[in-house]
Amino acid sequence: MLKFLLCLLCVNQAFAKEIFTDEYIKQVASLRDMALTDSTAYEITESLTTEVGARLGGSEGDAKAVKWAVAKFQELGFDKVYTQPVTFNKWVRGVETAEIISPFSHEIKITALGGSNSTANEGITGEIIHFNSLQELKDADPSLVKGKITFISDKMERTKDGSGYGKVNGGRYYAGTITAEKGGIGAIIRSIGTDNNRDPHTGGMKSVDVNKETGEMRFLNEKEVVPTGAISNPDADLLVNVIKRGKPVVFKYTLGSHWDGEYTSQNVIGEIIGREKPDEVVVIGGHLDSWDLGTGAIDDASGCAITMATAKLIKDAGIQPYRTIRVVLWANEEYGLSGAREYAKVHKNNMDHHIIGAESDFGAGSIYAIESNVAEYSLPAVAKMAELLKPLGIGYGGNNGSSGADISPLKAAGMATFKLAQDGTKYFDLHHTADDTMDKIVPEEIAQNVAAWIVFVALAAEYQGDFGFNLNTNK
Amino acid sequence: MLKFLLCLLCVNQAFAKEIFTDEYIKQVASLRDMALTDSTAYEITESLTTEVGARLGGSEGDAKAVKWAVAKFQELGFDKVYTQPVTFNKWVRGVETAEIISPFSHEIKITALGGSNSTANEGITGEIIHFNSLQELKDADPSLVKGKITFISDKMERTKDGSGYGKVNGGRYYAGTITAEKGGIGAIIRSIGTDNNRDPHTGGMKSVDVNKETGEMRFLNEKEVVPTGAISNPDADLLVNVIKRGKPVVFKYTLGSHWDGEYTSQNVIGEIIGREKPDEVVVIGGHLDSWDLGTGAIDDASGCAITMATAKLIKDAGIQPYRTIRVVLWANEEYGLSGAREYAKVHKNNMDHHIIGAESDFGAGSIYAIESNVAEYSLPAVAKMAELLKPLGIGYGGNNGSSGADISPLKAAGMATFKLAQDGTKYFDLHHTADDTMDKIVPEEIAQNVAAWIVFVALAAEYQGDFGFNLNTNK
């Protein structure tokens, strides 16, 4: 890290002027400042959430979203608009009820985790066995779990960078399979979220097995995974308080969710064609699908909107960069990463034409840092980005950056990546819940995102060197 | 007002010592300070919300709450515990669904207003006519409303004293009747609340007609009132955004709520018997019922708990005051004020034995002011209370104070009243919603309430003068 920073500092002074013309830098800085009061991204977010709303992969909303996206790219004046078919197994939600039956009766708000199979129509009724963490469940003697409903209750910690999420979401992913392995009949978890609303957080769970050699996918059977739901934070608190009384606690829940055949959705793609290297691309975007509980404003209408607005404002400023800007609105990120995986497969033979990529998929909070994952020799270009981002209150976090989920298959295939880190302090209040709605978007914050993305995209697409390839394979 | 304040200042210095002994004042001050770190009220709130939970008047939860309250008063060591039957018409909630059908389809969260009749099983489907306020609906030409579903969209303002509530809750009360009067087929309102969660706020609406002469009650028929629901703030924002597109908006909703015969609940009463005037009482309390959507932590388990803990801590300190402290947990406040009305009826011939009364029914936020409504000659006693409350950051707001809802029938019957005003900045985020749960109670804040109530109750019950009677009739 120190090496990179020193390198950045020295190269920055000596060579930065040679990478981009003064005039171009001035133009980008001016566009950046203009974007701070521009409402394009806010309006796109409002449009998608109002005119389409919830758009779970495979749902009617998904199909509407694809149509909306094609029309919106065209309306925004993109040079080229097209779609790329993405076929995946469709998962649908059904009835969702839950209650504490004894020693005190309470109605409980539950939501199925993505991938969960249904319970029988009459639901699952059983005694709760309480674990403070996934690790406690893993460590539990199977004889204690057998015939019971497991309940993992650890609460996600609020952090700016969202790092609290990774500490607890293993419980969401593995509760169903580990419970089944130990002979449990059902599993519920405290929502992975930082709010105290009665709206539970959904999210993906382990429900398929992928053969590592053949890549073939197989649905887990009912002996391998139990129907699993998340209950809201206040309900989890209540259940913990009931459990504290020391009497056996009987719980009942019903989930109607299940896998339901195949569906073909689309990655929707809009391009601003590069003037010299039209076939070489800077890939940006967000995912077009959302969970079904809210209208998917922060996850991820805002990411689609930020990247669409970025490309549009660059084009409207009369900039036709050296390389192509490709905005991809990814299909079915939420329970399959389907669009990104399909894209990586289709482009496996020209992945080296993908110069650098980034995704916006962490809400619409202000950006406070950038991170790169590029070849060392391209750090002067990153330094120039950092210099132009500094006035927005954005710092440089080093060259070992992570990337968005949809970027990960491309990164694995060799592409250099970039991250614009957003303030996620409030993100997990809303993430994957019914509360993910348009009223949560702050116009000034989403505009600041676009201003920052303009700097990254305008410089990355104009940069005539490259950012390296197969960096992570070579490391 | 100035007169009262001057009076307070002079009398305070000259005569305060004559009203209460120095020793008593010292004892109360010490109890007040101890109460700041006492957890009794927090624990009572936790007990009611965990062991009973939702307790709508007439529900199974109501019956459980009555049993809970009798047992809790006994456990706390009250001198006398008894109940007073309260019969009322029972209202029950049923199925609740809503959706925007066109031009864009969205699932909407709706809740029936208290007293609303059901729609037909297939629901009500119709075009929305949008009003920015109740006044706009009142002013509307009936020909525009006929055959439509009305929608009032003004949003409640957040204030410390809750004064934003009164500015908009007329829409909740009258939307159903005024819509019916103008030939509308249904009515929905934006929730009366300050949050941005997807949980709609219920609350009472006009559904009965009371004959002013005979007092006889009559249910309004379906020509006089339409089924009425509240939608959440984010959904109201969405609907407004859809309406802004300028196309006809078709909405559908189904409510299964209805009136369902008579029910007899109980006011539950616990007393600390006075040493000299056992038949003369200081009446305090909260209401035992809650709406059915949450566990009724802030509305009004906390009010019950604050007043129960106050009396218990006074008794535990070895204080047996001059007059009796009567804690009444009122039945069915939410959709009838049934317990308070019954109490006033039963006690109409000995109302003058009710020396002063107050209710805690505004959550568990810290108290920042007191107000009195007493005879001028008793203001020196109030001044002494104010003096002892000052260290808690509590100011005196004058002698023209309002009172809690359950106190109003007693006030109308002549009783002097007192108000301990709580910080309600966040109260209407939770009020009448599924989010009204135990996790919202802040231990330090509810303890501060008890500390303040101890000062009021210990001095009011020890005061050997009176606070006046029929003050508001004589004014």
A contact set with B (CB within 8 A): 46, 49-54, 60, 104-107, 109, 196-199, 233-235, 237-238, 241-242, 245, 294-295, 433-435, 437-440
| Mean pLDDT computed over every residue of chain A | 95
Please state, in angstroms and as integers, the Cα–Cα distance from residue B329 to each residue in A271, B51, B74, B284, B303, following that order.
67, 17, 14, 9, 9
Report how far residue B249's alpha carbon sits from residue A247's, in angstroms, rounded to the nearest whole number: 52
User: Which residues of chain B does A46 touch, with a Cβ-Cβ cutoff of 8 Å?
Assistant: 241
CB atoms under 10 Å from CB of B249, counted, come to 22
User: Which residues of chain B does A301 touch, with a Cβ-Cβ cutoff of 8 Å?
Assistant: none
Mean pLDDT in residue range A288-298: 98
- Nearest 5°: phi and psi at B426? -100, -5
User: Which residues of chain B does A98 touch, with a Cβ-Cβ cutoff of 8 Å?
Assistant: none
To probe the interface with A, which of B49, B50, B292 has the most A CB atoms within 10 Å?
B50
Shortest Cα distance from B190 to chain A (angstroms)?
A: 14
Shortest Cα distance from B106 to chain A (angstroms)?
A: 7
Predicted local distance difference test score (pLDDT) of residue A326: 98
User: Which residues of chain A does B242 touch, with a Cβ-Cβ cutoff of 8 Å?
Assistant: 50
pLDDT tens by residue, A67-96: 999 999 999 999 999 999 999 999 999 999
pLDDT tens by residue, B393-403: 999 999 998 88
Chains A, B: CB contacts under 8 A, how many? 90
The distance of Cα A249 from the centroid of its chain, to the nearest Å, equals: 36
B53 contacts A106? CB cut-off 8 A: yes
Secondary structure class of B116 (helix, strand, coil) = coil
Q: Angle between the A379-389 and A22-35 helix axes, to the nearest 10 degrees? A: 40
Dihedral of alpha carbons A316, A320, A321, A325, sign: positive
A310: CB partners within 8 A, 6+ apart? A284, A327, A450, A453, A454, A457
pLDDT tens by residue, B431-449: 999 999 999 999 999 999 9
Give the strand order in the sheet containing A228-231.
A106-108, A96-102, A250-255, A124-131, A149-152, A186-190, A228-231, A110-112
pLDDT tens by residue, A425-445: 999 999 999 999 999 999 999
- Nearest 5°: phi and psi at A191? -55, 140
Long-range contacts of B153-159 (CB under 8 A, 24+ apart): B153/B189, B153/B190, B153/B236, B153/B239, B153/B240, B154/B190, B155/B190, B155/B233, B155/B236, B156/B192, B156/B193, B156/B194, B156/B428, B157/B194, B158/B194, B158/B425, B158/B428, B159/B424, B159/B425
pLDDT tens by residue, B250-281: 999 999 999 999 999 999 999 999 999 999 99
Q: Residue B284 is encoded by which pair of tokens?
A: 């305090």
Nearest CA in chain B to A440: B196
Q: Residue A171 is encoded by which pair of tokens?
A: 């419980």
Mean pLDDT in residue range B322-341: 97
A54 contacts B439? CB cut-off 8 A: no
Task: Band the pLDDT of B173: cuts 50, 70, 90.
Answer: very high
B183: CB partners within 8 A, 6+ apart? B142, B145, B146, B147
- So what's the ipTM on this one? 0.94
Share of chain A above pLDDT 90, in %: 92
B296: CB partners within 8 A, 6+ apart? B48, B49, B53, B54, B55, B289, B290, B436
Report how far residue A280's alpha carbon sits from residue A266's, in angstroms, rounded to the nearest whole number: 22
With CA atoms as reference, report the closest residue to A324 among A362, A270, A290, A278: A278
pLDDT tens by residue, A380-430: 999 999 999 999 999 999 999 888 899 999 999 999 999 999 999 999 999
CB A202 within 8 A of CB A112: yes
**Would you say residue B36 has pLDDT above 70?**
yes
Shortest Cα distance from A435 to chain B (angstroms)?
A: 6
Q: Which residue has the tokens 């934006």?
A: B190
Mean pLDDT in residue range B426-432: 98
B349: CB partners within 8 A, 6+ apart? none
B437 contacts A104? CB cut-off 8 A: no
A366: CB partners within 8 A, 6+ apart? A393, A422, A423, A445, A448, A449
Dihedral of alpha carbons B257, B259, B264, B270, sign: positive
Task: Band the pLDDT of A1: cuts 50, 70, 90.
Answer: very low
Give the strand order in the sheet containing A417-422.
A80-92, A258-272, A323-330, A277-287, A354-357, A417-422, A367-373, A395-396
B425 burial type by CB count under 10 A (0-12 exposed, 13-18 middle, 19+ buried): middle
Q: Three-state secondary structure along A101-151?
A: EECCCEEECEEECECCCCCCCCCEEEEEEEECCHHHHHHCCHHHHCCCEEE
Dihedral of alpha carbons B199, B204, B206, B207, sign: positive
CB atoms under 10 Å from CB of A261, counted, come to 8
**Would you say residue B454 has pLDDT above 90?**
yes
pLDDT tens by residue, B102-161: 999 999 999 999 999 999 999 999 999 999 999 999 999 999 999 999 999 999 999 999
Report how far apart the first and last C-alpha atoms of chain A are (Å, whole number). 14
pLDDT tens by residue, A36-62: 999 999 999 999 999 999 999 999 999
User: Which residues of chain B does A197 touch, with a Cβ-Cβ cutoff of 8 Å?
Assistant: 197-199, 435
CB atoms under 10 Å from CB of A183, counted, come to 15
Report how far residue B200's alpha carbon sits from residue B424's, in angstroms, rounded to the nearest whole number: 19
A238 contacts B50? CB cut-off 8 A: yes
Partner residue facing B435 (CB), from A54, A197, A245: A197
A105 contacts B241? CB cut-off 8 A: no
B30: CB partners within 8 A, 6+ apart? none
Predicted local distance difference test score (pLDDT) of residue B133: 98
Task: Band the pLDDT of A10: cuts 50, 70, 90.
Answer: very low
Q: Residue B437 is encoded by which pair of tokens?
A: 């749960």
Mean pLDDT in residue range A265-279: 98
Shortest Cα distance from A355 to chain B (angstroms)?
A: 39
Share of chain A above pLDDT 70, in %: 96
Shortest Cα distance from A102 to chain B (angstroms)?
A: 10
- Nearest 5°: phi and psi at B211? -70, 120
CB B343 within 8 A of CB B413: no
pLDDT tens by residue, B197-217: 999 999 999 999 988 888 888
pLDDT tens by residue, B373-393: 999 999 999 999 999 999 999
Q: Residue B433 is encoded by which pair of tokens?
A: 């919603």
Q: Residue B353 is encoded by which pair of tokens?
A: 């034995």
Shortest Cα distance from A330 to chain B (angstroms)?
A: 22
Nearest CA in chain B to A53: B106
Report how far residue B328's alpha carbon sits from residue B284's, in angstroms, rounded to the nearest whole number: 6
Report how far apart the first and last C-alpha atoms of chain B are (Å, whole number). 14
Report how far residue B449's alpha carbon sits from residue B367's, in angstroms, rounded to the nearest whole number: 6
Mean pLDDT in residue range A266-273: 98
User: Which residues of chain A does B294 touch, with a Cβ-Cβ cutoff of 8 Å?
Assistant: 198
Partner residue facing B237 (CB), from A109, A434, A438: A438
CB A172 within 8 A of CB A203: yes
B contact set with A (CB within 8 A): 46, 49-54, 60, 104-107, 109, 196-199, 233-235, 237-238, 241-242, 245, 294-295, 433-435, 437-440
Report how far residue A151's alpha carbon sits from residue A255's, in angstroms, rounded to the nearest whole number: 16
Partner residue facing A104 (CB), from B53, B434, B435: B53
Mean pLDDT in residue range A321-329: 98
- The pTM (predicted TM-score) of the whole model is 0.94
pLDDT tens by residue, A445-469: 999 999 999 999 999 999 999 999 9
Report how far residue B193's alpha carbon sits from residue B168's, in angstroms, rounded to the nearest whole number: 10
- Which helix or strand (DSSP H or E) is residue A10 part of? helix A2-19
Task: Band the pLDDT of B14: cuts 50, 70, 90.
Answer: very low
A367-373 and A395-396 strand pairing:
parallel
Residues making up chain B, counted from first to last: 475
**Would you say residue A13 has pLDDT above 70?**
no
CB atoms under 10 Å from CB of A338, counted, come to 26
pLDDT tens by residue, B229-257: 999 999 999 999 999 999 999 999 999 99
With CA atoms as reference, report the closest residue to B329 among B36, B28, B52, B111: B52
B198 contacts A435? CB cut-off 8 A: yes
Secondary structure class of A266 (helix, strand, coil) = strand
With CA atoms as reference, report the closest residue to B361 among B394, B392, B338, B328: B328
Alpha-helical regions (H) of A286-441: 302-316, 338-346, 379-389, 408-412, 427-430
Predicted local distance difference test score (pLDDT) of residue A373: 97
B106 contacts A53? CB cut-off 8 A: yes
| Mean pLDDT computed over every residue of chain B | 95
Task: Band the pLDDT of A473: cuts 50, 70, 90.
Answer: low
Mean pLDDT in residue range B75-90: 98
Shortest Cα distance from A283 to chain B (angstroms)?
A: 31
Predicted local distance difference test score (pLDDT) of residue A57: 98
With CA atoms as reference, report the closest residue to B66 among B50, B80, B48: B48
Secondary structure class of A265 (helix, strand, coil) = strand
User: Which residues of chain B does A107 touch, with a Cβ-Cβ cutoff of 8 Å?
Assistant: 54
Shortest Cα distance from B268 to chain A (angstroms)?
A: 21
Q: Which residue has the tokens 């500015």?
A: B167
Alpha-helical regions (H) of B36-162: 40-51, 60-75, 134-139, 142-145
Predicted local distance difference test score (pLDDT) of residue B473: 54
Predicted local distance difference test score (pLDDT) of residue A47: 98
Q: Which residue has the tokens 């703030």?
A: B233
With CA atoms as reference, report the closest residue to B366 among B257, B274, B462, B450: B450
